[in-house]
Amino acid sequence: MGAEGVDLYEDSVEAAPDVYLLDTSTLLWSIMCPGRLSEAALAIWQDPKKLIAVSVVSYWEVAIKANKRIFQIDDVVTWWARRVLPFSDLETLPIREEHVSELIRLPEIHKDPFDRMLIAQARVEDMWLVTCDALIRSYPAVRVVW
């Protein structure tokens, strides 16, 4: 066959797999109380083919709330390393400049700074955000599953 009959780009780029970023509540429920998850969230959590991501934002939120005794976690560092990281398929998502720039552009629908940063991260990284938070569903260009 001549070169004119060959599509050099066909099948050369596979679609990137969907990645599911857990918001802090979903992360905590997944670990401590899976019965609180929706069917869709539980299916994502239990499917080894789904890529689960967690953000340093959730680590930060858990640490603050544990220090205030809102969450009963004595040693957040050990808890995160033993209870969270083994279930994340990717490295913990850091906060990058692009995330802050996206945060600045977000409409003021949600007041929680942790949720707003997770929204910004999900938008920039093109991840699904797994959350039951109805306000987050109000944001444009964020894919939400619950």
Enter the tokens of residue 4: 């004119």
Q: Which of 120, 125, 124 is nearest to 139 (CA)?
A: 120
Q: Are 136 and 129 in contact (CB under 8 A)?
A: yes
Distance from C-alpha of 143 to C-alpha of 129, rounded to nearest angstrom: 6
Write down the domain spans for the chain: 21-145
For residue 36, the number of C-alpha atoms closer than 13 Å in the C-beta half-sphere is 12
> Beta-carbon neighbour count of residue 122 at 10 Å?
29
Q: In this structure, which topology does domain 21-145 adopt according to CATH?
A: Rossmann fold (3.40.50)
> pLDDT value at position 12?
44
Residue 131 identity: T
Q: Which of 131, 138, 133 is nearest to 109 (CA)?
A: 138
Q: Tens place of pLDDT for every residue, the chain, 146 residues?
A: 444 444 444 444 456 679 999 999 999 999 999 999 999 999 998 898 899 999 999 999 999 999 999 988 999 999 999 999 998 888 999 999 999 999 999 999 999 999 999 999 999 999 999 999 999 999 989 999 99
> pLDDT value at position 2?
45
